[in-house]
Amino acid sequence: MENSLPLTGVILGSGFIAPCRVKVHVETGPYFAHSPFIDCAIEEAPCEFPVATYEVRFLNQAASLRHEQDRWTVGIPWETAT
């Protein structure tokens, strides 16, 4: 079963840090017990950041992002934040 959750997160990188809203798609079931987050989208974040690769963190998860042309694109699949 798939659900969507709106969460508060933080974007980090290139000397910048800012809060953001993340819409996370969660898959529930026995195969997803250790890492249920399968996808995310940045819903609200500053657009003044320079073109670069960043990281978004929320809960105990992190994902790589790319900021270009005033858009945030999620890159690398999920990794546990340390």
Q: pLDDT, tens digit, for every residue of 15-69?
A: 999 999 998 877 666 665 565 556 778 888 887 889 888 999 988 888 888 888 8
**From CA 69, how far away is CA 61, in angstroms rounded?**
26
Q: Look up tokens 């945030």; give the residue.
A: 72
Residue 11 has pLDDT above 90, yes or no: yes
pLDDT at 30: 64
pLDDT at 78: 43
Quote the number of domains for the chain.
1
**Quick check: pTM over 0.95?**
no
**From CA 61, how far away is CA 52, in angstroms rounded?**
20
pLDDT at 79: 45
Side-chain-facing half-sphere of 66: CA atoms under 13 Å: 7
Residue 14's domain comprises: 2-80
